[in-house]
Structure 1
Amino acid sequence: MSDLKTVGLEEFNIPLDQLNLPSIINMSSSTPFLEAAKLMFEKKIGSLTLGEGTKIEGIFTERDVISKLPLVLEDPMRPLSDLMTPSPLTLKNDATLSDAISIMSSREFRHLPVTNENGDIEKMISIKDVLKFISELFSEHMNDFKPINDWNKMGVSLQEQAILYDYHKEEGKLSEDVFDIPIKRIVNTSISKFNSQTSIREALLKLHERREAIALIMEYETELVGVVTERDILYKVFSSDLSLDLPIEEIMTSSPHVLSVNHQFGNALSNMFAYGYRNIPVVNQEGFPIGNISLLELLIFLANELGLRNLLKFV
């Protein structure tokens, strides 16, 4: 297996201040939720840090819309201080990428604020930033995975191949054939499915109850017609004051791209980068939707392979 490119943990010891991370938007925690929702829609962002000046008091993400849904529905104008995660975990800019991977995969964070040595908030690192860094380490192999959107029409019938990666993998290292692993090993099958005529209110309350962030929208219980994520909820419902009594089909992303359980890790990553997805519905060989794969599942898988998940110092 000497011809396969392999990287070790040393590749991830790069300090965060050497990465090209986006600047953050720091808002007052007294900002009303609806005002923040409109800003997040305009800026096409999924998280805000909250505080005065450059000091961070809390973080608010689109996930909080679902987790704090009863409070949001009771008073959409309530301040973000009621909805935020207070005193969030942060990393200093001299922390390493491996530190970020460990925390994000262990705590299932999709965003992590980065501060300078004085504790001033400067940047935000996201799961997508991490996965792009990893994919660029294997850019030559990743070029083999072109975006896929019409594999059914192309008559592709994928058969699971023997994955040599299982026979030579080493903890603390990644080799390029990790991207060849079929996504059936990573797919999240615990996912809600709603009829397209289910009201937005009912769907949101069920997502809150089940602590889920995505739902597949179905017709006749077998046909996938759309997908709804927490970003759809934030952008299409609360940033536009949409009635919660409308059917869920009003806010779904229609006819979403799907992947088969036998498509590969690299296919999922390529589609997510090409189309800006964070979630992709997954179907079985018969085309029936069985779950979802997200950026978070991909990161957790890689973190496990590197031995970076659930490290004691971050528990």
Structure 2
Amino acid sequence: MKNARHLLVEKQLHETISISPQATVYQALQLMAEKNIGAVLVMEGDKLVGIFSERDYARKVVLMGKTSAGTAVADIMTRRLVCVPPTMLVDECLALMTEKRIRHLPVLDDDSVLGVLSIGDLVREKIADQEYTIEQLSHYIHGR
């Protein structure tokens, strides 16, 4: 079973996509659209201070009558982060995300951000692992 570090390596992202807490929600949405992602880390220098997601936008801007251009990311970002170490196994990450009802999981080594895993990343890996197991069992049963 793979761990969080393995999945980050396989994603082959050469940068951690982040934005400043002082940026506007509009700027964060532009970045997310450009990178085709559903959430962005909020960083002050090298320090992770929050995460901003499409869910934050829908619930804390649109429904509250705020504007994207007039609202700072810091005002609506999620501050209570659920983070995991790079050694956490895929199944453990999935269980944690299900329990906490979150879709994005920052991976930290001490206080250093290694990247972010999405629920999609984890589900893809789980499906690939199950397909491999089925293939191996099929070969075993049919003697190939």
Q: TM-score range by the shorter chain?
A: 0.7 to 0.9
The one-character-per-residue Cα deviations of 1:10-40 (angstroms, maximum 9, x if unpaired) are x3xx331122244531211110011111121
Q: Which has the higher contact order (CA 8 A, sep 6+)?
A: 2
For residue 36 of structure 2, the aligned residue among 27, 39, 44 is 44
- Quote the residue 2:141 is aligned against: none
- Quote the residue 2:78 is aligned against: 85
What secondary structure, in the 3-state scheme, does the structure 2 residue paired with 1:98 have? helix
| Displacement of 1:142 | 8.5
Whether 1:104 aligns to 2:97 is yes
The one-character-per-residue Cα deviations of 1:43-70 (angstroms, maximum 9, x if unpaired) are 1111011021221100010011121124
What secondary structure, in the 3-state scheme, does the structure 2 residue paired with 1:86 have? coil
What secondary structure, in the 3-state scheme, does the structure 2 residue paired with 1:29 have? coil
Letter in 2 for 1:108: R
Which consecutive residues of structure 1, in runs of 5 or more, have no partner in the other structure? Answer: 1-10, 144-174, 177-315
| Displacement of 1:95 | 2.0
CA distance in 2, matches of 1:43, 1:95: 26
Pairwise mapping of residues 102-251 of structure 1 onto structure 2 (< 5 A)? 102-116=95-109, 118-139=110-131
Pairwise mapping of residues 259-270 of structure 1 onto structure 2 (< 5 A)? none
Letter in 2 for 1:87: R
CA distance in 2, matches of 1:100, 1:84: 22
What secondary structure, in the 3-state scheme, does the structure 2 residue paired with 1:131 have? helix
CA distance in 1, matches of 2:49, 2:102: 17
The one-character-per-residue Cα deviations of 1:232-256 (angstroms, maximum 9, x if unpaired) are xxxxxxxxxxxxxxxxxxxxxxxxx
CA distance in 2, matches of 1:84, 1:121: 17
Letter in 2 for 1:28: S
CA distance in 1, matches of 2:24, 2:55: 17
| Displacement of 1:114 | 0.5
* Alpha-carbon contact 1:24-1:122 (below 8 Å) kept: yes
* Alpha-carbon contact 2:90-2:126 (below 8 Å) kept: no
| Displacement of 1:78 | 0.9
* Alpha-carbon contact 1:56-1:87 (below 8 Å) kept: no
Letter in 2 for 1:44: N
- Quote the residue 2:3 is aligned against: 15
Greater Rg over alpha carbons, structure: 1
Query: TM-score if structure 1 supplies the norm length?
Result: 0.38
Q: Percent identity?
A: 24
Query: TM-score if structure 2 supplies the norm length?
Result: 0.79
* Alpha-carbon contact 2:21-2:74 (below 8 Å) kept: yes
Q: Alignment length, in residue pairs? A: 131
